[in-house]
Amino acid sequence: MKLFSKILIVSIALAYNLLAQNNKIYLPNEDSLAKKINPQWYNDAKLGIFIHWGLYAVPAYAPPELDPGNVKDWTVFYKNNPYAEWYLNTMKFEGTPTRKYHDAKYGKDFSYYDFIPMFNEKTKKWNPDTWASLFDEIGAKYVVITTKHHDGFLLWDSKVPYPNYPPSKNSLIAERNIVAELQKSVKAKNIKFGVYYSGVLDWTFYKVPISNLWPDLFVSKSQTASYADYVTAHYNELIEKYKPDLLWNDINFPDKGDFVGVMANYFSTVPEGIINDRWNAKNKKIYGFTTPEYQVLENKVDYKWETCRGIGNSFGYNALETDVHYISADKLIDLFVDIVSKNGNLLLNIGPDAEGNIPAAQLSRLHALGKWLKVNGEGIFGTSTFDKAQGKSDTKARIRFTRKGKDVYCFLLDSISVNKITIKDISFNGKSIITITGNTTPLKWSQKNNEVTIEMPKKWQNEYATGFKISNY
């Protein structure tokens, strides 16, 4: 009888594994989950839109001067944090600009969570279709929204019980189901939909302000089993309700949480799904891409990566930011091309105000990028890396490459004052045809030794990066 039971158990296990292999059902262990392959849609997408929206959009305040891409002292950074979404943490420090602003504007007895009814009232004016139309217009292929940031406030109608004492008399859930409404609008435009969730860091559980990146940010995580269960349940709920194309976790996953269980549920539910790398120090074989923040890799790499950054120095809306704090349209386009040439994606953040309006300075950059992509997108979307990402010319102009099948795209990031340009250390097929992207008129070109000289059209002017298509490379 015991032998029969053992045979039955082994048979069931083998049958389940066979079913898993045939139907893309993943088991809650790293070996099974590591078999997951990055979906092609993500490799082809190149451009995603990040959305940081929450209670912090009501005060919309942060000292805007510090550059998050060039931090020299993390203690100074956190006390003068340019990230408006970190308002609650920054206001806990006595004497900081954010604390002085909060006390003067709202009063010392005004809790951060007193912003909840204000946010709920203002978000009544929000139209998710307006956002989705904008994202579609500029050519974004996926969208990721903050479902829960570090303040613990939820943007979807969660049914998971809150295990801690309430931080305020107000519900920690937005009155509108922002996640569901945005997903519907985004999917209607055939854009992939992803969710951000702050895994370990939740200030409704952890009260002490974070003053340094190491070790506070990771040591200060909630280790209670109840919080781990809360996070695990939230993730499973998000997966079941919204089947997100992308799970974007931030600042680790609770040690006591069921990470592999969540991953097995996710990849079995969304076979073409993908996750980032901010879960834990283990399980790296499961991660789909790395996430440098306000940083760009120096060289092309084989693995997939994604730069996330705001258009300004903040992710959340900061009313103090002016045009000088925003990246220019020209630099944004150059940055994007550089990222794509090195096998990366750009997750470009917008920070709407509490009513859902995207600031004009952010919109102008988005529209410029979208206009450029309408002409040059063929050399961006669906491309792979070339033999090399960067090239040299006889001018100081920067050059980047991408590839699509037999065609190569060469992007000139800088303006030139001459009517021709020579690209060094490259050879083209003698039958190659070179055109400017968006134009079918062949350009004259010549090959000498290991250099290619391309003649520009007469009176050629281009506001942003110029793309060349080398057909039949």
Task: Give residue limits of the domains in the chain.
Answer: 40-379, 390-471
Backbone Cα Rg of the chain: 25
- Mind listing the pLDDT tens digit for each residue in 148-175? 999 999 999 999 999 988 888 889 999 9
- Mind listing the pLDDT tens digit for each residue in 365-407? 999 999 999 999 999 999 999 999 999 999 889 999 999 999 9
Report the percent of the chain where pLDDT is more than 90.
Answer: 82
Instruction: Please report the pLDDT score of residue 8 as a whole number.
Output: 42
Place of tokens 């990771």: 218
d(CA 15, CA 352) in angstroms, rounded, equals 50
Domains 40-379 and 390-471 share a fold: no
0.75 exceeded by pTM: yes
Closest Cα to residue 175, out of 121, 128, 127?
A: 121
Instruction: Please report the pLDDT score of residue 17 as a whole number.
Output: 52
Peptide bond preceding 215 in cis form (omega within 30 of 0): yes
User: Which of the residues in the chain have pLDDT under 50?
Assistant: 1-16, 18-22
- The mean of the pLDDT values for the chain is 92
DSSP annotation string for 18-46:
HHHHHHTPPPSSHHHHTT----HHHHHH-
Instruction: Please report the pLDDT score of residue 350 as a whole number.
Output: 98
**Cβ contacts of 337 within 8 Å, gap of 6 or more:** 380, 400, 411, 413, 465
Q: Which CATH class is domain 390-471?
A: mainly beta
Instruction: Please report the pLDDT score of residue 6 as a whole number.
Output: 45
Place of tokens 């509490």: 354
Instruction: Please report the pLDDT score of residue 211 as a whole number.
Output: 85
Among 3.10.450.750, 3.40.50.300, 3.30.720.210, 3.20.20.80, name the CATH number for the domain at 40-379. 3.20.20.80
d(CA 395, CA 196) in angstroms, rounded, equals 43
